[in-house]
């Protein structure tokens, strides 16, 4: 029996090789996985043209996945430097990499990335449009936007972010609204400008069915972008954000009728007490589609430390049902992240995702922590290092400050609680002098 997409296969009762791999990774029965895919509650972004991918599932009852943003820009257009980041990100076992290239030889970088990446690859074709078409934004024709999307699909991109919910109606409210940061989405701002310059409706919205044709042909998952996501905590959960979310819910149903897989993108910047409500709203208005968030950053005052503000929000969001976290680095709002920024962003986001999985009772999530606790009580330093989310940093910290007694550290020395209790329970001699 033939099928077009993972959703189409699931609805026809066909177990694909991608489903089998995800089932094994997640330790979930493949029939349950198929049911979730058929309902749109889980997606497996896996373009038919991406041959090196190791498929991952995103959605209900699965581990929270993380995404890393990479790519070349006008001011930082060294492809070799970005490829080094790709290799490091893959070594750190990220599940997804988004190519946000916006200048120069974007396709050269994208082709290298897709060829070498076992992680799923996402992109924002809107970023590539001006360079790809070699035109000013206002001069781009509607069908030319589709040409860029088609090229990304042919190249093997597994999911694309499109800002189809930014209709003229929503745009009008932005102009008449007292938002502090207006539109902070790069793709959303470009579309807003195109619409205003050409006095036309959003071409991604009006050509949505043609985009579904492309996605269905190549099994590209749609990541419905939130052009109106809040760029500061003052703008969070406002009417503009919710109006766009309602449109995204309508587009989700249209995509599902064509068996096209869908994720919904979300905030953004948001006060910590609003996060749970936003997850509930998204899941309700978008019919349980997987939720993909940037952060949320819970305060606006920490440039240089936004991997921390993001991890705080990301952990809470994940615990309340968010399925996919986009990493944020210390360089957010300041510059293109370098290799070390990327590493810090990955680690912070991995911690947030895992903390959320513990709260969601994802299968096996607590086992990792229990193994670490067992190694600590046994003062098994090698096992602790092996279990660390960042073994190199943990080893470096210990090597920089070696204790007199190897069964302790320089914080407590012979007064180490684990050491004291272990000796007493084993009826060994205890000396603190």
Q: Check residue 431 and give its pLDDT.
A: 86
User: 123, 160 in Cβ contact below 8 A?
Assistant: yes
- Average pLDDT (213-222) is 98
pLDDT at 134 over 90: no
Which residue positions form the known binding site?
Answer: 69, 98, 127, 163, 185-187, 226-229, 265, 269, 292, 333, 409, 412, 416
The DSSP line for 102-147 is -SSSHHHHHHHHHHH-SSEEEE-HHHHHHHHHTS-GGG--HHHHHH
Which residue positions form the known binding site for substrate?
Answer: 69, 98, 127, 163, 185-187, 226-229, 265, 292
pLDDT at 104 over 80: no
User: How distant, in Å, are the alpha carbons of 18, 55, 111, 148, 220 from that of 51?
Assistant: 12, 10, 12, 21, 14
pLDDT at 86 over 90: yes
User: 388, 394 in Cβ contact below 8 A?
Assistant: yes
69 bridge partner residues: 98
pLDDT at 105 over 80: no
Q: What is the pLDDT of residues 361-392, one digit of tens each?
A: 999 999 999 999 999 999 999 999 999 999 99
Q: Check residue 199 and give its pLDDT.
A: 97
pLDDT at 122 over 90: yes
**C-alpha triplet 317, 319, 324: angle, nearest 5°:** 55
pLDDT at 245 over 90: yes
Rounded Cα–Cα distance for residues 179 and 230 (Å): 9
pLDDT at 214 over 80: yes
Rounded Cα–Cα distance for residues 258 and 251 (Å): 11
Confidence of residue 72 (pLDDT cuts 50, 70, 90): confident
Rounded Cα–Cα distance for residues 356 and 362 (Å): 9
User: 430, 421 in Cβ contact below 8 A?
Assistant: no
Rounded Cα–Cα distance for residues 153 and 159 (Å): 8
- Average pLDDT (396-410) is 90
Count of CB atoms situated within 10 Å of the CB of 9: 23
Share above pLDDT 90 across residues of the chain, in percent, rounded to a whole number: 87
CB-based burial of residue 56 (10 Å sphere; 0-12 exposed, 13-18 middle, 19+ buried)?
A: buried
264 bridge partner residues: 224, 291
- The mean pLDDT of the chain is 95
Residues counted in the chain: 433
Which residue positions form the known binding site for [4Fe-4S] cluster?
Answer: 409, 412, 416
User: 14, 236 in Cβ contact below 8 A?
Assistant: no
Furthest CA-CA distance within the chain: 84
Of 22-36, 166-180, 291-305, 321-335, the one with minimum mean pLDDT is 166-180
User: 42, 57 in Cβ contact below 8 A?
Assistant: yes
Range with the largest mean pLDDT of 72-81, 96-105, 157-166, 412-421 = 157-166
Q: Check residue 380 and give its pLDDT.
A: 94
User: 85, 70 in Cβ contact below 8 A?
Assistant: yes
Rounded Cα–Cα distance for residues 247 and 300 (Å): 28
pLDDT at 234 over 90: yes
Q: Where are the domains of the chain?
A: 6-359, 367-400, 404-433
Confidence of residue 103 (pLDDT cuts 50, 70, 90): confident
The CATH code of domain 6-359 reads 3.20.20.540
**C-alpha triplet 90, 35, 283: angle, nearest 5°:** 75
């Amino acid at each position: 029996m033939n099928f077009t997409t993972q959703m189409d296969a699931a609805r026809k009762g066909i177990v694909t090789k991608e489903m089998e791999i995800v089932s094994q990774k997640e330790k979930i029965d493949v029939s349950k996985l198929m049911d979730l895919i058929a309902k749109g509650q889980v997606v497996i972004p896996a373009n038919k043209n991406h041959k090196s991918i190791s498929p991952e599932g995103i959605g209900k009852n699965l581990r929270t996945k993380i995404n890393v943003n990479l790519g070349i820009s006008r001011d930082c257009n060294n492809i070799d430097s970005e490829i080094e980041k790709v290799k490091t990100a893959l070594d750190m076992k990220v599940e997804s990499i988004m190519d946000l290239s916006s200048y120069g030889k974007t396709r050269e970088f994208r082709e290298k990335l897709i060829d070498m990446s076992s992680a799923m690859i996402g992109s924002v074709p809107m970023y590539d449009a001006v360079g790809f078409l070699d035109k000013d934004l206002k001069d781009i024709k509607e069908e030319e936007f589709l040409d860029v999307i088609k090229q990304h699909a042919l190249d093997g991109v597994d999911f694309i972010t499109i800002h189809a919910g930014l209709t003229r109606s929503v745009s009008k409210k932005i102009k008449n609204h007292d938002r502090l940061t207006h539109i902070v989405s790069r793709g959303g701002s470009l579309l807003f400008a195109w619409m205003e310059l050409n006095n036309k409706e959003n071409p991604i919205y009006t050509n949505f069915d043609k985009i579904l044709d492309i996605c269905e042909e190549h099994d590209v998952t749609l990541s419905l972008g939130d052009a109106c996501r809040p760029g500061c905590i003052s703008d969070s959960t406002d009417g503009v954000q919710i109006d766009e979310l309602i449109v995204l819910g309508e587009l989700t149903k249209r995509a599902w009728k064509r068996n096209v897989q869908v994720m919904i993108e979300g905030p953004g910047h948001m006060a910590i007490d609003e996060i749970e409500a936003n997850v509930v709203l998204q899941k309700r208005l978008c019919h349980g589609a997987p939720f993909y968030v940037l952060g949320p950053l819970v305060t606006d005052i920490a440039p240089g430390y936004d991997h921390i503000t993001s991890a705080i929000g990301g952990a809470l969001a994940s615990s309340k049902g968010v399925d996919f976290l986009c990493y944020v680095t210390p360089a957010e709002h300041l510059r293109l992240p370098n290799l070390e920024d990327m590493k810090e962003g990955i680690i912070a986001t991995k911690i947030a995702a895992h903390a959320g999985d513990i709260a969601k009772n994802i299968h096996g999530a607590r086992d990792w922590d229990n193994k670490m606790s067992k190694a600590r009580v046994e003062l098994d330093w090698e096992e602790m290092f092996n279990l660390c989310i960042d073994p190199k940093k943990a080893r470096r910290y210990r090597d920089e400050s070696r204790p007199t007694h190897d069964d302790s550290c320089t914080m407590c020395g012979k007064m180490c609680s684990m050491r004291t209790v272990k000796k007493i329970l084993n009826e060994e001699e205890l000396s603190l002098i």
